Copies of this chain bind each other. A is one copy, B any other.
């Protein structure tokens, strides 16, 4: 195996911003957008975005396949969404209570999401998943929550992927199962015994650094059965996937409806909003818990969401994203075969992940992404990516020009017989 060729890029404005950030922000940045966790060469700071095009602080433009890690589903600065947001902002955003748009938006959720009898709104995806867990416990008087091993449900103590600063008690009543493994789910439910409050499942398996797995319908049905048998809550964590796969809920094509579902990311095309949708079985519990936040009733994000969901409710939206994802996937598959590079593309086409064979340290994936990056295409080496309705065939084709060259670089850097 050869050493990874350096793919350094001169980003002087970004470097200066990072130098200043390092002084006043621990580690320069927190969380999932911290590019110090990624291969050297990624820009940290961004200046401008429109449609599916993103411009870093040094003025480099990218066709973006991360969509701000999900929120951007109709394109950055979508004119209709921003007009709706501006119209609300001209009247007001926060008040001493909600604006009428809250009712419009809750009605829209109930109309659109198949299992929803009601909705509540928050700011973070973790607000929504945590509220679902709290509702499951309040509505059953029980404590145990089943979660899939390695699944991401937010970065708060009960579910953060890091245990720094977390106590054992924060996770005292979690029991793990293996995603898509009905037997392991039933075993975990048996271990919970009479204390089972709920089962949490992501829309599909989208853990980082491993091939994605679509939800097996038999697994989804087993989750429904386990919850029905115990009168426990089936909680669909649709934060990451919601409204990209199916407007009625990501498990609707499987024929399995959850009791509670958590949304965020794409529901307001970039405005900060999260939502919990639930069935009438859990309505009373939702009146008993006390969950709130200073900005949970903010009207501008709700107006943006209403405009976003109107567009996403049409099946053409997810169909277009899927078609663009397939175009990208098929193109990369053909290029990889031509260059003799072995890689795996997994997950729904709207949320692709590309991992390379024989790449335990992600050196190939990193080289691939950096070579694409310097050719104006923003991909991610180990986190699922996102398509939007703003990706047009010509954007994907523009990306494929870059991936072809990037795969050639991988073939050169990692000769098969090395």
Interface residues in chain A, defined as those with a beta carbon under 8 Å from any beta carbon in chain B: 17, 20-21, 23-27, 29-33, 35, 43-50, 54, 57, 64, 66, 68-72, 76-77, 82, 89-100, 102-103, 106-107, 109-110, 117-120, 123-127, 130, 133-139, 143, 154-158, 160-162, 164-167, 169-170, 172-173, 239, 264-265, 270-272, 278, 283-298, 301, 378
Contact = CB atoms under 8 A, between A and B. Distances in A.
Q: Which of A69, A89, A95, A102 has the most CB of B within 10 A?
A: A95
B29 A98 contact: yes
Given A137-B167, A272-B123, A293 B155 contact: yes
Contacts of A98: 29, 33, 44-46
Q: Which of A26, A165, A298 has the most CB of B within 10 A?
A: A165
A155 B64 CA distance: 36
A17 B283 CA distance: 19
A269 to B, nearest CB: 9
Given A47-B100, A70-B294, A94-B68, A24 B165 contact: no
A416 to B, nearest CB: 32
Copies in the assembly, this chain: 2
Contacts of A50: 92
A133 B95 CA distance: 30
Nearest to A266: B294
A30 B291 contact: yes
A24 B109 CA distance: 9
Given A29-B97, A94-B72, A173 B164 contact: no
B165 A137 contact: yes
B155 A107 contact: no
Given A71-B94, A155-B293, A134 B166 contact: yes
